[in-house]
Structure 1
Amino acid sequence: MEKASVSLTIKFLLLQCLFALSIAQDFDFFYFVQQWPGSYCDTKKSCCYPTTGKPAADFGIHGLWPNYKDGSYPSNCDPSNAYDESKIPDLISLMQQDWATLACPSNSGSAFWSHEWNKHGTCSESNLDQHGYFKAALNLKSKVDLLQILQSGGINPDGGSYSLSNIKSTISNAIGYDPWIECNSDADGNRQLYQIYLCVDTSGSDLIACPSFPRGKCAPNIQFPSF
């Protein structure tokens, strides 16, 4: 009985240590994902402008997503800490501008932000509370002007076809780190620039080299549609 008791105590202590480690470091980095609205809207599914009106022709935030180095990610980490718009009143107008929803039916954006916080933001609570999470994403958006970077390299949202390698190198040369490009298809099946992933440290403030990239690939040449 004594050996069994010691064994159970050791197992309990090990579980406590593992739990403490998981709390201390519950993810390795963030993906900061920006989306081109023209590529969202020209698909067969189409889009709806938010109730605040058509967003600007600029990349918009999709999300700030905690990830592990092995490519997996945590999600829905704390159901008890649901999205609460009363915690971010000073950010709403900027979120409407830089984090606009294009989902149908037309809405204010609250459902989109709620989804992002509940699924992804709650997994960053060890470093960022709700206000800090949304503020971090907005700060990153202001720090990295993807449209300006691309246009400075002669890559414009004019419906033209551009080299995927040139898009990547243009961004990499500007920010010092390689991005990951996600493509989708327009209503005619043409492959196009859809989302750009950058990697950020666990504080949500500084760009880093990506420890891993998502799966999937684009064509060697892709379109950059207008919006």
Structure 2
Amino acid sequence: MINSIPIREEAGSKDVEKEKDFDFFYFVQQWPGAYCDTERSCCYPTTGKPEADFGIHGLWPNFNNGSYPADCDPNNPYNQSEISDLVSDMEKEWPTLSCPSNNGTKFWAHEWNKHGTCSEHVLDQYAYFQTNLDLKKKADFLNALKTAGIEPNGTFYSLDKIRDAIKSGIGYTPGITCNVDASGNCQLHEIYLCVDTCGSRLIECSLFPDGKCNSEIEFPSF
């Protein structure tokens, strides 16, 4: 049986352990339609409205007990000059939706500083961001869902059907988390996959976040 853990609050969690080693990564992508369709709303990046596709949220080291390391090396902060040739791909595959509108640097810096530094003994800064982009190619969630007849058009679908579609299309069981739109409807927000500690291979998850999903959830348009 796969265990469930409380979904992390990305802005405020401080469940930090001193040990920098970890047991696996979560690779997380978010659906922009769900991010934007809340009371908080969103702002498109300065490069324009992103494509209607899942975007990278991040690659997060985790422990098997449900905790995770964070902010492991303040002496190795985000340095965009080290990844300059990746930025154009990151703008497409890892767009920011936070307000006010910005170029994504703050989002990427947060992901590296909080999560990436905890894997720097495995992935340096360049490898961390390249690995995220490589995993995005392996995990085409939108195609997997559309192949199963699940379209982002505001329709409600069975949570089990969405999970099964991802498992069939990608080959691994996903974790799914939901948020609530401005009308109070439960909607598909993020999809989690697990990755080995080298960041190179998808693996089955031993535990998932508490997705806060109903049995039927909306797949909103974007």
TM-score norm. by structure 1 comes to 0.88
Q: Which amino acid counterpart does residue 37 of structure 2 have in structure 1?
A: D
**Could you tell which deviates more after superposition, 51-60 or 166-175?**
166-175
| Paired residues for 1:93-172 under 5 Å | 93-172=88-167
| AA at the equivalent of 1:121 | G
Q: Hey, what does 1:44 align to over in structure 2?
A: 39
Match of 1:183 in 2: 178
Q: Distance in 1 between matches of 2:211 and 2:174?
A: 14
Out of 73, 78, 101, the residue aligned to residue 78 of structure 1 is 73
CA distance in 1, matches of 2:128, 2:60: 10
- For residues 2-81 of structure 1, what are the structure 2 equivalents within 5 Å? 22=19, 26-81=21-76
Aligned pair partner of 2:187 in 185, 188, 192:
192
Inter-partner Cα distance in structure 2 for 1:203 and 1:129: 11
What is the alpha-carbon distance in structure 1 between the residues aligned to residue 202 and residue 71 of structure 2? 24
- Whole-Å separation in 2 of the counterparts to 1:217 and 1:187: 16
Question: Which one has a bigger Cα radius of gyration?
Answer: 1
3-state SS, counterpart of residue 79 of structure 1: coil
Letter in 2 for 1:71: G
Cα deviation code 1:106-143 (max 9, x no counterpart): 00000000000000000001100000000000000011
How far is 1:213 from its partner? 1.1
- Alignment-mate amino acid for residue 80 of structure 1: N
Which residues of structure 1 form unaligned runs of 5+? 1-18
Report sequence identity in percent.
63
**Helix, strand or coil for the counterpart of 1:213?**
strand
**Partners of 2:68 and 2:210 in 1: CA distance:** 13
Q: Secondary structure, in 3 states, of the residue corresponding to 1:89?
A: helix
Secondary structure of the residue aligned to 1:172 is helix
* Contact map agreement 2:144 2:170 (CA 8 A) in 1: no
Question: 2:194 corresponds to which letter in structure 1?
Answer: C
Q: Cα offset for 1:169?
A: 0.7
RMSD over aligned Cα atoms:
1.0
Whole-Å separation in 2 of the counterparts to 1:226 and 1:176:
25
Using the size of structure 2 for normalisation, the TM-score is 0.90
Distance 1:92 1:100 in 2: 10
| TM superposition shift of 1:211 | 2.0
Equivalent AA in structure 2 for residue 126 of structure 1: H
Superposition deviation, residue 217 in structure 1: 2.9
The count of corresponding residues between Structure 1 and Structure 2 is 205
Map Cα deviations across residues 117-173 of structure 1 (whole Å, 9 max, x no partner).
000000001100000000000000011110000000000001000000000011112
Aligned partner of 2:13 in structure 1 is none
In the alignment, the residues of structure 1 paired with residue 66 and residue 209 of structure 2 have an alpha-carbon distance, to the nearest angstrom, of 7
Range that drifts further, 171-180 or 196-205: 171-180
* Residue of structure 2 in register with 1:16 after alignment: none
